[in-house]
Structure 1
Amino acid sequence: MKICFITLGDIKSIATMKRALGMANPLQALGWDVSIIALDSEENRSRISIECNENVQVHYYKDCSAKEEVAIKTRLVNQICPDFIYFCSFSFRNRIIKSKLKHKPKILIEHSELASSIPDNKGPKKIALRLLEYYSVYYADGLLCASRYLEREYHKMARQLMKKRLPILYSPYAFNNDVIDAARILQQELNERYKNNTVLLYMGTMTRNYGLFTMLQAVEQVTKQKPDIKLLLLGRGRHLEEAKTYVQQHGLEPYVEFKGYTPENELSSYFDRADAFISPLNDTVQDWARCPSKIYMYIPFRKPIFTSKIGEPKEIFGDDGHYFNTNQPDTLSKLIAALADGRLQKTDVNIDEHSWDQRAVDFTNWISAQYAVRFAAAGSEVFS
């Protein structure tokens, strides 16, 4: 049984390729023949070479116009002839021309956010994105939703479009075992540098909307009593320079470090050294709908995760999570103080439930049930 993941852009700026990379090897172990279509970029090639074995067929395309990209992807699908096409995201340029296909594969589309709900998307753009969300329901033979909110939203859209029986699978992001097993190339250096610190780590986009200034204000509050705190910020974003100015103006240089984009092979060292992770979420449709993939990367390191009691964190941790309100920095500073004092209660999570291996099993079982495909053993399948 062949599956072809169709991805969009460079993974440094568009992270939706993560599912293709995470599930490729586990799906092969379950009997799938896996292909990936990806933009030819240095980071994509690096990540694919690290996470995918040599049996995964990768087809690269050069950066080009949207029209050319759609045509190239259509030609590649005709060349691969997969039984299932899996769009890791769906957009005006990440699609194919169905009328030009030489065969009729099942088309699966993943949704990891509700783009029409993002505040920056206004007016005609918001309308166009909402129409695209509905069009994906019409276009697809099945959907995968990375959050419970999206699962409910797309079931509603399917009913409105008279596609009540459209198969929809709830499938959040997950972690890759390779991240846990990766060599800690910076471990000794980080352990020495932060040997006297309580280290907090945030990895993501540096924007106000993602809680950047909530974290800075919380650190500012707590360091008056806990001067050993160190906040490491990994990533880039449009409010990065503004945040650096805030740190300078408020004398937070001893407590906050901006690390910028961090290569994948260094992440395990930072995760291992961190005493806690921060993943801010706002009580908005945008954050209820999106799947915070970083949380799943943090889970296997068994450290406290400071986040918000909405959306996917609530699904994962229930009432036992370490939650704060992004509009009230003091709620985060209290968690940080409790961590520094050793007063924080441990949250137990079954990490095996959140691996890409498990997601691949769940996906394969769903495919078997919905599309009458039975995987008898690795490398074989039968239709029933």
Structure 2
Amino acid sequence: MTDADRLADALRPHGGEVRTAGPADAVDGVPATVVARPVTTDGVAAVLREATAQGLVTVARGGATALDWGAPPERVDLLLDTTGLDRLVEHGAGDLVVVAEAGLPVAELLGHVAGAAQELVVDLPPDRLAGGSTVGGALSTGASGPRRLQRGALRDLVLGATVVLADGTVATAGGTVVKNVAGYDLAKLLTGAYGTLGVVVRAAFRLHPVRPDRAFGVAAGPAADVAARARSVVASQLAPAAVEIDRPAGSDVAEVAVLLEGAGAAVGRRAAEAAGLLDGRVQDEPPAWWGALPGGPGTLAKATATLTGVADLLAAARAAEQRHGAGVALRGTAAGVLHALVTGTPGATAGAVGRLRGAAPSPREGTVTVLRASREVRAALDVWGPVGGLDLMRAVKRQLDPGRNLAPGRFVGGI
């Protein structure tokens, strides 16, 4: 009996399917052998229990919009397709809470809660949202967008989760109400871990009422000036929902856009004040680049910095271009979470990433993590860079997945 046959036998009582992997069933270039698509939590547990008993490596896949982020897994014996877990379990509109299975596309969740004038403030990049990014995939990659400035990233909005561990154990942490903060915060622990600690099968999130009116303050100028103006808005009493900066590759000029949300004429007044601080203008629509990652071929990295360190990061991008001959586009929140698209040879890219890391000399001051890169670029640099707490992360991995059966090598330190 083959591995696939044993997996199919384990899944059969719970529904779903097991099939031989095809050419499209790969994770960052690493081909899978078998694909399982369970439709229940018990099915996920049965498949993982059998896979681990066989010593198989399992990697979970949702909408496949970010499978080339992180590092390639060491191998993929079993690709666990979560799209069969696609139910919206509960929408407690009165409590501003939604519970959804991991395979539900985020766009569908947003569409459902919009009917109650509510939203999950996740702000996925438009291409991931349109591509079918799922609830589980968004959690696995630690998604966040422009409005994290005021309402936090997705990890701040997750209230609880049901998770299946490598040995098939089903664990539940957190709850479905905002006041529930007791217990081991497994949901936040798994957010951004690239599926290396467990497979999320269900999650509960805090929602927000939709704010009906919005306006933008927009300005452009030398990158250092833009960073200073953006910082003044973040520190102001205007309560901006988002303050975003865009610096195209090769440019000495950057653009800043401030989002003000609320109801009525007060939004326009606040936008006018923001535009005054920016020495810019007010407009009803966001700039074309708003909310999107820097696009095109190249190496995609996530850069973090302190509020005052954003200017240093912008300066480092220009210095990297002049020193290494690479292109470095930067875009993200002025509070210090940006994405960089680096173009050039592997050597030039490695040099540019090193220059960006030099703008934040310690993990407490900022980090630069490579999300997507060619194998040649990965060979030329450390994709994770300096990471604080790595020993603790490894200890958690040993506790939750002692056999390294879940996506080994996908996360920092080979976790």
TM-score (norm 2): 0.29
Q: TM-score, normalised by structure 1?
A: 0.31
Q: Could you say which structure has the higher helix fraction?
A: 1
Task: Report the structure, 1 or 2, having the larger strand content.
Answer: 2
Q: Which has the higher contact order (CA 8 A, sep 6+)?
A: 1
